[in-house]
């Protein structure tokens, strides 16, 4: 049964979610609730109403040398890449670009989402990686970090392979920093081709509990 939340900051057990992953409706998008959600294996996916999800299975990228698949064309782009890569230099711009690029699948990255995750960014728990061609933002990815856990939320590109390049450098950075769990929520055709895999929610929650308590910083 889907739980209706009030203003008290809590969540039901994610194992109680509906078959499609929907767990709860309501509440708010404050920093404390968002952090509790991600620590609990839960994420929001809409604003009116606010919905909270914990799907089974869960999609992840393994943070090892073989967890990200680099195609021949992407390898060529990486070798020849003239683009500048930065971190946390244009967080809100990246979110807005992701929202624009995903209009065809609904407006889940709404103004309310952008405001909420910007507050999370200001609190040190949401981050972006940007890909620039000169002064033009041509690709990027953003997500949420708690300890050694990172949840990739969305990515975009305005030049061929720019989002994949951004994701490559993000994963490289997370490995170097000692992160142990990269969550992509639900698998897509694109992320599967890049190496994302699915694991059972119970396994995901076990790995999450260990990752969020690691003394790791982005």
Rounded distance, CA 149 to CA 185, Å? 13
pTM (two decimals): 0.95
Q: Give the chain's radius of gyration (CA, Å).
A: 17
Over the stretch 48-64, which tens digit does the pLDDT of each residue have?
A: 899 999 999 999 999 99
Instruction: State how far Cα 64 lies from the chain centre.
Output: 18
From the list 85, 59, 81, the residue with the least C-alpha distance to 190 is 59
Return the bridge partners of 159, or none. none
Q: Which residues of 29-52 are buried (b: 16+ CB within 10 A; e: fewer)?
A: bebebbbbbbbbbbbbbbbeebbb
Question: What six digits make up the tokens of 55?
Answer: 């799907």
CA distance 208 to 40: 8
| Domains present along the chain, CATH in parentheses | 3-55 (3.30.70.3550), 59-211 (3.40.630.70)
Rounded Cα distance, 96 and 7, in Å: 28
Model pLDDT, residue 67: 87
pLDDT tens string 108-166? 799 999 999 999 999 999 999 999 999 999 999 999 999 999 999 999 999 999 999 99
């Amino acid at each position: 049964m889907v739980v209706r939340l009030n203003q008290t900051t809590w969540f039901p057990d994610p194992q109680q979610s509906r078959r499609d992953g929907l767990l709860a409706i309501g509440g708010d998008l404050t920093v404390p609730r968002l952090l509790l959600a991600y620590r609990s294996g839960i994420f929001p996916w809409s604003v009116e109403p606010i919905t909270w999800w914990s799907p089974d299975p869960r999609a992840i990228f393994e943070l090892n040398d073989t967890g990200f698949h680099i195609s021949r064309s992407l390898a060529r782009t990486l070798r020849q890449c003239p683009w500048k890569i930065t971190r946390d230099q244009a967080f809100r711009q990246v979110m807005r670009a992701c929202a624009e690029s995903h209009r065809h699948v609904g407006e889940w990255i709404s103004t309310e989402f952008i405001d909420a995750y910007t507050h999370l960014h200001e609190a040190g728990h949401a981050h972006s990686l940007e890909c620039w061609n000169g002064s033009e933002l041509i690709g990027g990815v953003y997500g949420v970090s708690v300890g050694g856990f990172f949840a990739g939320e969305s990515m975009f590109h305005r030049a061929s392979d720019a989002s994949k390049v951004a994701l490559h450098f993000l994963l490289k950075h997370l490995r170097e920093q000692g992160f142990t769990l990269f969550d992509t929520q639900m698998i897509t055709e694109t992320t599967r081709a890049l190496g994302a895999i699915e694991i059972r929610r119970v396994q995901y929650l076990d790995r999450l509990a260990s990752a969020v308590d690691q003394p790791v910083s982005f």
